[in-house]
Amino acid sequence: MDTTALTELSSTLLDEARADSAHRAARTICGGSGHVLRQTAIALLAESTLSDHENPGEATLQVLVGRVRVGWAAGSVELDAGGHLVIPQERHGLVALTDAVVLLTAAKLGAAVPRA
């Protein structure tokens, strides 16, 4: 069974983001090619953004560290550490209001569920 220490990973990713010219870093911790479910931890320094993009499937966002704003055509929401959001099924973007780490969980629409 794979385990991940999210507190340690958050610290590592924030260090990587501080050294990166784009002021962000990410690590997939579950899933990937050939999987329906994918979880990615993303660190962004304050005022860094993930520009508007389409939602490729059902997705949630959990804030592990800091504060972020998620915005879409009909509105926006600000989330602190511990906050959770079901991402709207529309174009959306994210801005880090402080140094932040989020856990994005996404399920690809139309992906076949593997059978055991």
Give the rounded distance of the alpha carbon of 25 from its chain centre: 11
Tens digits of residue pLDDT in 44-101: 999 999 888 887 778 999 999 999 999 998 899 999 999 999 998 888 999 999 999 9
Distance CA 40, CA 42 (A): 6
What's the pLDDT score for residue 2?
80
Q: Which domains does the chain have, with CATH numbers?
A: 6-108 (2.60.120.10)
Return d(Cα 21, Cα 98) in angstroms, integer.
17
Mean pLDDT computed over 17-35: 90
pLDDT at residue 47, as a whole number = 96
